[in-house]
Structure 1
Amino acid sequence: MNDKHGLLSAPIGRVLFNMSLPNLIGILTIYGGSLIDTFFISQLGTDALAAVSFTFPVAIVFASIAIGIGAATSTNLSRLIGAGNTTKAKSFLFDAMLLTFILISILVSVGIMAIDPLFTLMGANEKSLPLIHDYMLIWFCSAPLLVLLMVGNQGIRATGDTRSPAIIMAVAAIINLILDPLLIFGIGPFPRLEIQGAAIATLVSWLVAFTVSGYILIYKKRILELMTLCRVRITANWKKLGHIARPAALMNMMNPIANGVILAMLARADQAAVAAFGAGIRLETLFLVVIMAMTSSLMPFVGQNLGAGQHKRAKDGMMLALRFALVFQTLLYIPIYFSGNTIAQWFSSDPAVIDSLSFYIHVLPAAYGPLAIVIIFATCLNAYHRPMKSLVINLVRLFALMLPLAAVGLYLGGVKGLLIALPVTNTIMGIACYIMASKLTEPDSAHLHYNNDELNSSADSTL
């Protein structure tokens, strides 16, 4: 069995570190670019920053679909690779990319037609709505590139290679960083496009990254090939994708939906708080970047070990990651707390925005350790083929705890009361998820294997 990256045999800590480090560099570059993007847009004024903040939940809906399909793709591919079923892996990835393209094309068409009513419903005012319209028209056209790129990169990671996707996304972030000021402010020969310039910079960066990712999948990894459109094979593979992708995508969609509800609450209380919350969400992704990198490594690690029948090694890797996440995020909170006011002043000169964002930075990261436990455990449940349990955990966290507590907090303490509800929720769920993880049993063996008929049908379908 090919174990080039040591997922099945090397020391667990070393494997996760070696896989997570390139992920960390790539994700840090991406989110750093996103923060710089936010910084440039904030120079256009509070209205522009608020407008982009409104678009963030919608953008994450598309990313959530990519994460859902990507999770299903990575889970199944890593198990097939771990079991040595390369032919089946190729047909599975092709069918996953096909489904991704069809779904996103439909959503883009609906999204373009629904821009004004959707963001009006979310609480956008007359100043923000035209800016949102200008930004989202271009963003929707580039969304298929992003989602196909994310799913394709999960295919690369399933082989144990986390370095290539990290480089791809880092290059995309650098391109976006270079183009942002040129197109937003009209530097040199470039026209001043303001918020539209930010969207065009994003489109160009995703196009380049998508092209490079496709090249690696087809020519370097040889894990993606053109297949005949065999109904039997596609139906079987889409069914396997759906088992993980539907609840995984829905789980990830819950976060932007909840954020959208919180934004609507804030919009009716204080427009400056909307801008602060939008910047805070971007900061949160940066503060959790190490956890995101580790999560991307855990999926192929757990999947390949389960596929090879090494159940104890898979669980040991998960528990090691949970303990590391709690300690790391707790220690990271110390410098975050003491730099809160300075960071807030980077994003705005509006005293109201600075006050809300500073409070966000001081309070929410206190519970990022427990939140990291929730993120890691939910991801591992997908690898264990228990996506519904993962979905239920997120539903409880967001809709049974977070939003009700946020509404009570807003009523009793205004914007700050609402923000306090978020770390309280994450602490409760983090404790619950660690207890559940420690009691997690081996998966049903029926979920770990693919029968010979499926392998033969996929082999017959290759061009």
Structure 2
Amino acid sequence: MDHPQADDAALPSEGVVQPAVVPPPPKFVTGSIMRHVIVMTSTGSIGLTAVFAVDLINLWYISHLGDTVATAAVGYGSTILFVTTSICIGIMISAGALCSRALGARDRPLARRYGASILMWMLLVTGAVAVLTFPLIGWMLRLLGAHGRTLDLSTLYLEITMPTVVPLGVGIGLSGVLRAVGDAKRAMYVTLSGAAVAAILDPIFILWLGLGVEGAAIVIVFSRMALALLGWYGAVRVHDLVGRLSLKRALEDAGPIAAIAGPAVLANLATPVANGYMTAILAPFGDGAVAGNAVMGRLIAFCFGGIFSLSGVVGPIFGQNYGAGRLDRVHRTLSDAFLFTTIYAVVVWAALALCHHLVIRAFNITDPQAAQLIEFFCLFVAGSWAFHGLLFVANASFNNLGFPLASTVFNWGKATLGTIPFAMLGAKLWGAEGALTGQGLGAVLFGVIGVWWAYRSIGQLKLPGTSRAS
């Protein structure tokens, strides 16, 4: 039996004149765009970095066991977990886009309905991912190049952590709802909770209890449960932006949700697929190369967290201003976000280049090949992340302004045409360092084209409710 629609506004009693209530303007429709970009990206990057920091903290403690095989095993496992995280982030993008548009149009009941429907779809999709991928864990790891003891340890790691994609999705999805309303700080706290749990429990389970890779996996379970609980508190109890969960309404809302989440998920999957390819292409160079790549992967996620967060946190700024009909502010958001991500990436690159020896010592890297690969990345390849960032901003505009297919095309183009031939040729000519160089050059190419296409797309926008220019 269907419950009454809790999201519907109450009808005024007959004959009673209700005073007009004018809701306050949405947060991002007024004030400095650059300030909104900085605040949302900085808090969002801290929050999303906290999600990846769980892997970083795990890897840091694992590396101090002095076992290159264990480090490589976590690297293989994290490559696959990154796929599930990317699916969750893709669905979260739809939460930020749809809820922010509704709030921008001052339709809070619609925002609450979208919040509930997106959460329901997050549960359905992540549950299906956990069930379908669990029996394929061994096959996926062997496909990446894992074998022997490395395969055994990475299989154990994933068998424990794969089911946690469900609470991870709930936490990330609800943080997207919080960003849609402009509560960047509370959204940051949601994901910080997972990192805090990992920081407390990792030394206990990995070192003191001596559980190693198994302990790292157990900690992920606890950290993702914390993520879900705090996200539910903020989005439901504090802001009341999630209506009654209903499978019927979720199915009715599948169209607008899938229109954004589908292409966003496909676009986000391109990055872990490219990472998986890079893991496979480095595997023949030995466990040292894979271990070095694992450290680089965690460094990228941690140090360039602001870039990863852009597609989710800048989206509500686009969405609210587009929903309010402020196309001038939409254009300014794109330019300010491009400027911010470029400065951010260059500063991080400089820091990594200056501190590369410290990074190698911090992760207790004793394998010469791993150390050489990390040094090469910090000095040279990290600079290509400025162009990754430009493409992430472009994708945020595509996803939130009605061009989601462009996001999918560009991300998969970078993951395939911008990665495979470049990395393959580089590996053949200059080994593992050449593979990293090739991947970086592909990112430069697609970043530049993405910037041009984003400005071209925004030039085609019309006010909501009117037809778009052809």
The question of a shared fold, defined as TM-score above 0.5 by the shorter chain, is answered with yes
Written as runs of structure 1 = structure 2, the 5 A alignment for 1:383-462 is: 383-439=400-456, 440-443=458-461, 445=463
Q: Which amino acid aligns with 2:394?
A: F
Amino acid at match of 1:387: P
- Report the counterpart of residue 308 of structure 1 in structure 2: 324
Aligned counterpart, 2:201: 179
Kept in 2, the 8 Å contact 1:75–1:303? The answer is: yes
Q: Which of these residues, 257, 264, 272, is aligned with residue 248 of structure 1?
A: 264
Once residues 239 and 444 of structure 1 are traced to their aligned partners in structure 2, the CA distance between those partners, rounded to angstroms, is: 22
More divergent stretch after superposition (47-56 vs 14-23): 14-23
Cα offset, 1:325, TM superposition = 1.7
Confirm or deny: 8 A CA contact 2:398 2:454 kept in the other structure. Answer: no
Partner of 2:11: none
TM-score (norm 1): 0.91
In the TM superposition, residue 162 of structure 1 has moved relative to its aligned partner by 0.7
Q: How does 1:18-37 map to 2 (within 5 A)?
A: 18-37=39-58
Q: For the Cα contact (< 8 Å) 1:79–1:448, is it kept in 2?
A: no
Q: Within 5 A, what are the aligned runs for 1:229-378?
A: 229-230=247-248, 233-347=249-363, 348-378=365-395
- Listed as ranges, the gaps of 5+ residues in structure 1 are 450-463
**Aligned partners of 2:92 and 2:172 also within 8 Å:** yes
Matching residue within 218, 240, 244 for 1:226: 244
> What is the rounded CA distance, in whole Å, between the counterparts of 1:56 and 1:31 in structure 2?
10
Q: Give me the whole-angstrom Cα distance separating, in 1, the residues matched to 2:411 and 2:310.
A: 19
Q: Secondary structure at the match of 1:349?
A: coil
Rounded to whole Å, the distance in 1 between the matches of 2:181 and 2:247 is 25
Q: Partners in 2 of 1:25 and 1:2 — Cα distance?
A: 30
**1:401 CA displacement:** 2.2
Which residue is equivalent to 2:9? Answer: none
- Following TM superposition, by how much is the alpha carbon of 1:320 offset from its aligned partner in structure 2, in angstroms? 1.0
Q: 1:398-421 deviations in whole A, cap 9, x for unaligned?
A: 211211110111111111111111
| Two-structure CA RMSD over aligned residues (Å) | 2.0
How many angstroms does 1:24 deviate by? 3.6
Displacement of 1:444 in angstroms is 5.0
User: Match of 1:46?
Assistant: 68
User: What is the alpha-carbon distance in structure 1 between the residues aligned to residue 278 and residue 465 of structure 2?
Assistant: 38
Q: Aligned in 2, Cα 1:11/1:448: closer, same or farther, shift over 3 Å?
A: farther
Give the drift of 1:442: 4.4
CA distance in 2 between partners of 1:29 and 1:234 (Å): 29
1:57 shift after superposition = 2.3
* Distance 1:27-1:69 versus aligned 2 partners, 3 A rule: closer
Match of 2:15 in 1: none
| Structure 1 residue identity aligned to 2:219 | A
Q: Quick one: structure 1 residues 195 and 301, their matched pair in 2 at CA, closer, same or farther if it must change by over 3 Å?
A: same
2: distance between equivalents of 1:217 and 1:335?
A: 36
Distance 2:443 2:64 in 1: 33
Contact persistence 1:345–1:354 (CA under 8 A)? no
Q: How many residues align?
A: 443
Structure 2 spans left out of the alignment, 5+ residues = 1-21
Please state whether the residue corresponding to 2:417 is helix, strand or coil. helix
- Do the aligned residues in 2 keep the contact of 1:344 with 1:357 (CA within 8 Å)? yes
2:398 to 381, 405, 424: 381
CA shift, 1:75, in A, is 0.6
> What is aligned with 2:126?
104
* TM-score, structure 2 as length reference: 0.89
- Matched residue of 1:192: which SS? coil
Q: Could you say what secondary structure the match of 2:182 adopts?
A: coil
Moved more, 157-166 or 394-403: 394-403
Mapped to 2, the partners of 1:99 and 1:447 lie a distance apart of: 27
Structure 2 vs 1, CA of residues 21 and 394 (structure 1 numbering), >3 Å: closer, same or farther? closer
Residues 23-47 of structure 1: CA distance to partner in whole angstroms, max 9, x if unpaired?
2433444444432221101123110
Distance in 2, Cα, partners of 1:65 & 1:412 = 34
Deviations 1:61-100 (A, max 9, x none): 1111111111112111100111111112212221111111
Note if contact 2:418-2:445 (Cα within 8 Å) is conserved in structure 1: no
- The alpha-carbon distance between structure 1 residues 277 and 2, as it changes in their structure 2 partners (threshold 3 A), is farther
Cα distance change, pair 338–282 in 1 and its aligned pair in 2 (3 A): same
Secondary structure, in 3 states, of the residue corresponding to 1:225? coil
**Contact 2:157–2:217 (Cα < 8 Å) also in 1:** yes
How far apart are the structure 2 equivalents of 1:442 and 1:207? 43
135, 146, 167: which one aligns with 1:145: 167
Question: How far did 1:343 drift?
Answer: 1.1
Deviation at 1:106, TM superposition (A): 1.6
Q: How far 1:50 moved relative to its partner?
A: 0.5
CA distance in 2, matches of 1:176, 1:446: 44
Deviates more, 1:343-352 or 1:127-136: 343-352
